[in-house]
């Protein structure tokens, strides 16, 4: 496959900003993810400041299910590896395999969302809620914001998977898996953020 076909429109100029083979879509996604990281950073920082200034912050492991959430973390890690394997299959022009791995990735996202609904329902039944205290506020806001990202990712990947099944990224001499890679960036970022949320909100 030619580099140009793989890269789409390469973003480079002669003035020293060398993005190599990275497509404009990829660079744009990275910039978006940076801004998204700032949003998560703000929420996590608000939590950190409230908690480090509090004298009676409860131990999260007394209120939250650590083993269950560790399982949810594992599901997201699995869906990240299926995502890259789907991309690799599409880059090798193997449409069937690409669709298979992408479907598993979506399934991982749905499983995570189901887990989160189950977790929230249980907690709310026990009297938890956003306005109950600072601990619950700084638990529900970042985790639901992250859940919204997982939902967005599932929607995004569903569209990409349908396009993949139709051969958009594998059939023909000019087909490029670039759009799958860009969607993958979003998906891995959601996994990356969860790694930090799991540590800061659940474990510490």
Partner 1 sequence: MAGHSKKEYVVVFFVLTLLTGLEVGLKYMNLSRTALIGGLIALALAKATAVALFFMHLKSETRTLKLVVGIPLLFPALYAIVLISESIYRSGFTLMATAH
Q: How far is the CB of 54 from partner 1 (least distance, A)?
A: 7
19 φ, ψ (degrees, to nearest 5): -95, 10
Distance in angstroms (rounded) separating the CA atoms of residues 16 and 71: 45
Residues that bind partner 1 (CB under 8 A): 1, 6, 16-20, 22, 27, 30-31, 34, 37-38, 41, 44-45, 48-49, 51-55, 57-59, 61-62, 66-67, 70, 73-74, 77-78, 80-81, 83-85, 88, 91, 181, 184-185, 188-189, 191-192, 195-196, 198-200, 203-204
User: SS3 of 22, please?
Assistant: strand
Structure tokens of 123?
A: 């907690």
Q: Report the half-sphere exposure of 88 (CA within 13 A, side-chain side).
A: 7
Q: Which of 72, 79, 73 is nearest to 103 (CA)?
A: 79
CA angle 180/34/43 to nearest 5° reads: 120
Distance in angstroms (rounded) separating the CA atoms of residues 144 and 154: 15
Distance in angstroms (rounded) separating the CA atoms of residues 105 and 86: 9
Q: How far is the CB of 181 from partner 1 (least distance, A)?
A: 8
Q: How far is the CB of 187 from partner 1 (least distance, A)?
A: 9
């Amino acid at each position: 496959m030619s580099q140009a076909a793989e890269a789409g429109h390469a973003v480079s100029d002669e003035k020293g900003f060398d993005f190599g083979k990275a497509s404009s879509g990829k660079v744009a996604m990275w910039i978006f993810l940076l801004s998204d990281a700032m949003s998560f950073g703000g929420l996590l920082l608000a939590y950190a400041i409230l908690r480090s200034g509090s004298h009676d912050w409860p131990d999260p492991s007394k209120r939250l299910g650590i083993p269950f959430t560790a399982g949810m973390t594992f599901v997201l890690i699995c869906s990240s590896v299926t995502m890259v394997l789907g991309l690799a299959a599409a880059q090798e022009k193997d449409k069937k395999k690409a669709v298979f791995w992408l479907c598993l990735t979506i399934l991982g996202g749905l499983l995570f969302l189901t887990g989160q609904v189950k977790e929230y329902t249980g907690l709310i039944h026990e009297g938890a809620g956003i306005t109950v205290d600072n601990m619950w506020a700084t638990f529900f806001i970042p985790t639901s914001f992250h859940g919204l990202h997982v939902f967005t990712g599932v929607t995004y990947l569903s569209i990409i998977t349908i396009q993949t099944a139709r051969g958009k990224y594998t059939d023909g001499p000019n087909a490029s898996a670039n759009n799958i890679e860009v969607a993958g960036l979003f998906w891995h970022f959601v996994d990356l953020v969860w790694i930090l949320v799991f540590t800061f909100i659940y474990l510490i």
